[in-house]
Chain A
Amino acid sequence: MHHGPMRSNSTHRKLHAVARLLAAAGLTADAYLHARLAESYDAVSATLSQGTLFRIEAATAALAALLFLVWRHPLADAFAWTVAAGGLAALLLYRYVDIGELGPLPSMYEPAWFTDKNLVVIAQVLTLLATSVLLLTRRRRRGHA
């Protein structure tokens, strides 16, 4: 009776399926929230407005979600991880540090937490965790001659 490897494969597949679903949900929520908030943040502007940056984040997260689901490749997983990590880093930086205008970027310092911002953080952390699981527990596919 050698069920060990089969069970292990099954568990691995389930883990990856759940992680993939959670990451896709996180990216979609990230894209939706940024798209919805963009218009309000158009007033925060320098050469670029914060609304424009939100639209770029929304488009990038949507593209990452699409790639992530259609193209099951570590590069797609890494791209999704990078989008979530970059968005989260920017959010936390501008939540706690007043760096003012930076080149074409407006001053986006916002020392407050509120529902939409909390949801964005949850979505990005979820994406980070799920894509980390996918990247760290990936098994090499055995090639067939």
Chain B
Amino acid sequence: MLVRLRSRPPHMVLTIAGLCMLIVLVGCSSSGGPAPTSPSPSAPSSASVSEERIVIKHFRFEPVDLAVAPGARVSVVNEDSAPHTVTAKAADAFDTGTVKGGETATFTAPPAAGTYRYVCSIHPSMTGTLTVR
């Protein structure tokens, strides 16, 4: 079947169509850069750093495994646009509550030594471990 184009406003239509495609391509290219699969340089991964930090980016906790001192303050930076949580699987161990996109929350590590698994309660496929020692 032949597609018949209406002759009325071809320039306007093609201009708008071109703009639409351009906007979509810009959207693709802005997310199509090299995927930062390695931990962010701003996210310390060692327990020796005094201010502990977990960065959430692209639905991953960075670092996935973090070691901290008992009672340490841990900040959680959400660099996604989606909201996330850092919620211990062990009841009442720690929970940031909902951290909106672009926001930061803090929680206090448990006083008892041990390994605490945690999840994002909104996206349960996101998991991490906090080791207190």
A residues bordering B, Cβ < 8 Å? 21, 24, 27-28, 31-33, 35-44, 55, 58, 61-62, 65-66, 69-73, 106-107, 110-112, 114-117
Contact = CB atoms under 8 A, between A and B. Distances in A.
B123 interface: yes
A65 B17 contact: yes
A42 B125 CA distance: 12
Nearest to A106: B125
Q: Which size class do B's interface residues fall under? A: 20 to 34
A112 B83 contact: yes
Contacts of B126: 43
Contacts of A24: 16, 20
B41 interface: no
Contact of B81 (A28, A38, A43, A114): A114
Contacts of A41: 59
Given A110-B82, A112-B98, A114-B81, A28 B24 contact: yes
B58 A40 contact: yes
Q: Which of B20, B32, B82 neighbours the largest number of chain A CB atoms within 10 Å of its CB?
A: B20
- What is the interface of chain A mostly: helix, strand, loop, or mixed? helix
Contacts of A107: 124-125
Given A40-B58, A43-B59, A112 B122 contact: yes
Nearest to A27: B20
A40 B24 contact: no
B20 A69 contact: yes
Nearest to A111: B122
B20 A35 contact: no
Interface string B68-90: 00000000000011110000000
Interface in B28-81: 28, 30-32, 35, 57-60, 80-81
Contacts of B16: 21, 24, 69
